[in-house]
Amino acid sequence: MSFTKHIFFCTNQRDDKKPFCNRFDSSKMRKYAKQKLVDANEHGDGKIRVNSAGCLGKCDYGPVVVVYPEAVWYTWVDEYDVDEIIEQHLRQGKIVERLLIKES
């Protein structure tokens, strides 16, 4: 199996007081993104793959997703942001500058 793009949603959950992405319902957002791509027949072999990931090590920026093969890291707030990542990056190959994680 191979994919044109691969998007990983951090769905890590913690019991301690450290930040974690699933406090923002990232599991729900991963399901939303996957269903949107399935409905458009853009998910699966030879197409786009949506996956859950454990901690991606960028907890302070959460919630986070990373898109491969470009290794572009995004944060998001709501479905509108995820829709923009899907439309602009996954479909058109354009980086969504306003959602990029900018590490200092």
pLDDT of residue 16: 72
pLDDT over 80 (residue 38):
yes
Question: Is residue 45 scored above 80 in pLDDT?
Answer: yes
- Between 23 and 63, the higher pLDDT residue: 63
- Ordered domains of the chain (ranges, CATH): 5-99 (3.40.30.10)
Is residue 21 classed exposed, middle or buried when 0-12, 13-18 and 19+ CB atoms within 10 A define those classes? buried
Question: Residue 28: enclosing H or E segment and its boundaries?
Answer: helix 26-39
Q: How far is Cα 55 from Cα 52, in angstroms, rounded to an integer? A: 10
Q: Taking residues 23-37, what's their average pLDDT?
A: 93
Segment 7-28 shows an average pLDDT of 84
pLDDT of residue 21: 79
Q: Average per-residue pLDDT in the chain?
A: 92
> What integer pLDDT is reported at residue 104 of this predicted model?
63
Q: Is the pTM of this model over 0.75?
A: yes
* 65: nearest Cα among 101, 35, 97, 34: 101
